[in-house]
Amino acid sequence: MIKDAQRRSVFGGMVGAREEKSTTLAQRISPEDADFTVPSFRANVDIEASLERCPKWATTKGTFFTHLVDHVRDRLDSEPEGLYEGTKRSRWVPFAGYPLRDFMRIAHNAARLVHPKEPTQEGLRRLGWISYTSFAATMAGRVVLFALGDRLEDVIWTSPKAYALALPGASAEATRLRDGHYRYALRGVYNFVDCYHYGVLEGTVRAFGINATLRLRQLERAGDADFDVQWQGQSQRMPMATPAHPPGTRTA
């Protein structure tokens, strides 16, 4: 039993600890826990409102644009013209910075093209599933994500640094409450934190052969959310490919 809830910030340092008594899962549910829910993903994203909330200075790396475009090509066996609607660029240098608003446009377009029968919240969630394996396939991703080891716990512990690299200006903090139970705080993550980044966490967990319970707490400020991730058992050491079918994360 881990008696200290440990937190790791974007800087990768220990920033606090508190003692936790041994209790059952039911006894551990606090009023704070009640704020976490499993989203339905049945709504369409208001893309113009989302873009308006995203600061003009916010950027992300070219590699994430490229992985999205490659995914659309793979799924549709073509590169539809509508994929670039609202943007002016179709080629990117992998780790150069580009406007996050452009990424949001392309991701929203991709969600509608690849998953036309689904609400765009669900489409963006599914696009998030490919993010972990795409980033982990890059040299920079492997250096950051596997700095402490190759289990899911290690990756969660190092992922705040990955967010710092992928989204300059955003912040992330991982809190280990006990074995198989983490809290994850994202701040200033404007590219659909409640659906795309929910999918990012789902895809990460699934890549390690884990069936987890993943819940979301949406906060008042745009781009801010907390995630509660719980699982039982040991994760696999080597990450697997992202599945084409929905991840095994429970949604009820």
**Number of domains into which the chain is organized:** 2
Q: Which residue has the tokens 């998953």?
A: 115
Residue 201 lies inside a defined structural domain of this protein? yes
Q: Give me the domain span that covers residue 199.
A: 6-39+150-230
State residue 237's pLDDT score.
67
Q: Tell whether 28 and 64 lie within a shared domain.
A: no
Q: Tell whether 160 and 199 lie within a shared domain.
A: yes
Residue-wise pLDDT tens digits, 177-221:
999 999 999 999 999 999 999 999 999 999 988 889 999 999 999
Residue 180 lies inside a defined structural domain of this protein? yes
Q: Tell whether 61 and 111 lie within a shared domain.
A: yes
Q: Tell whether 34 and 58 lie within a shared domain.
A: no
Q: Tell whether 34 and 159 lie within a shared domain.
A: yes
Q: How far apart are CA 150 and CA 164, in angstroms?
A: 20
pLDDT range class, residue 32, cuts 50, 70, 90: low
**The last residue of a domain, from among 131, 158, 192:** 131
Q: Tell whether 127 and 158 lie within a shared domain.
A: no
Q: How far apart are CA 158 and CA 79, in angstroms?
A: 34
Q: Tell whether 166 and 120 lie within a shared domain.
A: no
**The last residue of a domain, from among 71, 101, 131:** 131
Residues 6+ apart with CB under 8 A from 79: 69, 72, 73
State residue 5's pLDDT score.
61
Residue-wise pLDDT tens digits, 215-246:
999 999 999 999 999 998 777 665 444 444 44
Residue 241 lies inside a defined structural domain of this protein? no
Q: How far apart are CA 243 and CA 252, in angstroms?
A: 20
State residue 150's pLDDT score.
86
Residue 83 lies inside a defined structural domain of this protein? yes
Q: Tell whether 58 and 118 lie within a shared domain.
A: yes
Does the structure show a pLDDT above 60 at 89?
Answer: yes
CA max distance for the chain? 57
Residue 171 lies inside a defined structural domain of this protein? yes
CA 238-3-235 angle, 5° bins: 15
Q: How far apart are CA 98 and CA 100, in angstroms?
A: 6
